């Protein structure tokens, strides 16, 4: 479902604050997919993603008027999602890599938790890509999300990420280069 015009959004958010569940449903149906895909880009685990997305819409339902219109509604919602992802990672004791790195070290083991059949199944499901994408710095994950899910131009992404178009191009270039290497390693199976 496409995103809603700003005037409609404001009306719906005001309705949610009055307890109108149909207004909530409409926003949920319009934005759930993007939030879920964004979270999956940031944290490639389905179970976690569902929990995080639930928390995002819970926050929206509890305080629908928190959106002031300073940014686009999508950016605002994804900002909440990013914070929820970080909260989740902190709970799990995982480090958060937000800064871009020119060169990433490709994991030499496809998946420490997975045996070969599991990896094969995951490959079929496209989970190899999710697995490799999760290792990217967050700014690169975000750039991929905007380019591939929202079909944003490099100028749009530069505006969203508050950087130059050159930086956006570099981020995506490095991200794709890393993904290619990581998936190749993944396909080779565990190194003995």
Partner 1 sequence: MNAPQTDDRRFDENVPFYVNGSLDVQEREWMDNHLAAHPHKRHEIEQAHQERLHSQLLQSEIPESERLARLYRELRWSQAPVPPKPASPQPVRDVLTGPWISAVAGVVLGGLLVAGLGFLPQQSTPTNPSLERYRGGQNDCTPTPGIRIALAPQVQWVHLAQMLRTLQLQVTNGPNQDGEIWVRVTAGASAPETLALLRNSPWVEQAIPADADRALGSCPK
Instruction: Summarize as ranges the residues that interact with partner 1 (CB under 8 A).
Output: 2-5, 7-8, 11, 15, 18-25, 28-29, 32-33, 36-37, 40-41, 46, 49-50, 53-54, 57-58, 61-62, 102, 126, 129, 144-145, 147-149, 151-154, 156, 166, 169-170, 172-174, 176-177, 179-180
CB atoms within 10 A of CB 174: 19
CB 192, min distance to partner 1, A: 28
Taking alpha carbons only, the member of 12, 49, 13 closest to residue 32 is 49
Closest to partner 1 by CB, 6 vs 115, is 6
Which CB sits closer to partner 1, 7 or 192? 7
- What is the nearest approach in angstroms of partner 1 to the Cβ of residue 93? 25
Of 134 and 190, which CB lies nearer to partner 1 in the complex structure? 134
- Dihedral sign computed on CA atoms, order 66, 33, 72, 12: negative
State the nearest-atom distance from the C-beta of 89 to partner 1, in Å.
19
> How far, CA to CA in Å, does 108 sit from each of 1, 97, 105, 173, 184?
40, 19, 9, 21, 10
CB of 106 to partner 1, least distance (A): 17
CB contact set of 186 (below 8 Å; sequence gap of 6+): 110, 111, 119, 123, 128, 131, 132
**82/75 Cα distance (integer angstroms):** 10
Give the nearer residue to partner 1 in terms of CB position, either 110 or 157: 157
């Amino acid at each position: 479902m496409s995103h809603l015009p700003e005037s409609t959004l404001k009306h719906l958010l005001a309705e949610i604050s009055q307890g109108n569940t149909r207004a909530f449903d409409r926003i949920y149906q319009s934005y759930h997919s993007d939030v879920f895909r964004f979270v999956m880009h940031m944290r490639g685990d389905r179970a976690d993603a569902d929990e995080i997305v639930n928390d995002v819409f819970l926050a929206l339902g509890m305080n629908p008027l928190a959106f002031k219109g300073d940014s686009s509604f999508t950016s605002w919602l994804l900002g909440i999602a990013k914070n929820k992802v970080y909260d989740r990672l902190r709970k799990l004791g995982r480090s958060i890599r937000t800064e871009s790195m020119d060169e990433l070290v490709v994991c030499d083991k496809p998946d420490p938790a997975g045996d070969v059949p599991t990896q094969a199944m995951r490959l079929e499901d496209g989970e190899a890509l999710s697995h490799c994408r999760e290792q990217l710095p967050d700014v690169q994950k975000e750039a991929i999300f905007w380019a591939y899910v929202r079909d944003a131009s490099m100028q749009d992404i530069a505006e969203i990420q508050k950087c130059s178009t050159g930086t956006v191009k570099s981020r995506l270039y490095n991200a794709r280069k890393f993904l290619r290497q990581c998936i190749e390693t993944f396909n080779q199976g565990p190194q003995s």
